[in-house]
Amino acid sequence: MRILLSAFAAVVALGTSAQAQTYPDKPVRIIVDSAPGSATDVASRLMGDRLSTVWGQQVVIINQPGAGGSIAARAAAQAVPDGYTLYVGAASVFTALKGAPGVAPNLPVELPRDFAPIGFITQQPMFIAVAPQLSVKSLPELIDMAKKKPGELSYATTGRGRITHLTMELLQSRAGIKLQMIPYTGGPTAAMADVTTGRVAIVIEGYSGLAGGMTGGSIKGIAVASLDRLADFKDLPTVAETLPGFLAGGWNVLLTPVGTPDAIIQKASADLRKAMDDGELKKKLAAMGAYVHAMTPEQVTSFSQEQQRTWRPVAEHVAQQAAEPAK
Report pLDDT digits (tens) over 256-281.
Answer: 999 999 999 999 999 999 999 999 99
* Same domain assignment for residues 168 and 207: yes
Q: Quick: pLDDT tens for 170-187.
A: 999 999 999 999 988 777
* Same domain assignment for residues 86 and 183: no
Residue 162 domain boundaries: 127-247
Q: Say if 10 falls within a structural domain.
A: no
Q: Say if 2 falls within a structural domain.
A: no
Domain end among 223, 247, 271: 247
- Contact between residue 106 and residue 70 where contact means Cβ atoms under 8 Å apart: yes
* Chain centre to alpha carbon of residue 326: 31
- In what helix (H) or strand (E) does residue 249 lie, and over which residues does it extend? strand 249-257
* Same domain assignment for residues 136 and 104: no
Domain end among 194, 218, 247: 247
Q: What is the pTM of this model?
A: 0.75
- The domain that holds 200 is classified in CATH as 3.40.190.10
- Residue 108's Cβ-side half-sphere holds a number of Cα atoms within 13 Å equal to 25
Q: Say if 312 falls within a structural domain.
A: yes
* Same domain assignment for residues 154 and 114: no
- Residue 8's Cβ-side half-sphere holds a number of Cα atoms within 13 Å equal to 5
Q: What is the predicted pLDDT for the residue at 162? A: 78
- Residue 19's Cβ-side half-sphere holds a number of Cα atoms within 13 Å equal to 16
* Same domain assignment for residues 133 and 105: no
Domain end among 247, 265, 289: 247
Q: Say if 6 falls within a structural domain.
A: no
- The domain that holds 53 is classified in CATH as 3.40.190.150
- Kindly report the number of other CB atoms within 10 A of residue 27's CB atom: 12
Q: Say if 301 falls within a structural domain.
A: yes
| Number of compact structural domains in the chain | 2
Q: Say if 7 falls within a structural domain.
A: no
* Same domain assignment for residues 137 and 195: yes
Q: Say if 8 falls within a structural domain.
A: no
Give the integer Cα–Cα distance in Å for 117 and 269. 9
* Same domain assignment for residues 158 and 301: no
Q: Indicate the average pLDDT of the chain.
A: 89
Q: Quick: pLDDT tens for 54-102.
A: 999 999 999 999 888 899 999 999 999 999 999 999 988 998 777 766 6
- Contact between residue 293 and residue 302 where contact means Cβ atoms under 8 Å apart: no
Q: Say if 15 falls within a structural domain.
A: no
Is the pLDDT confidence value at 146 over 60? yes
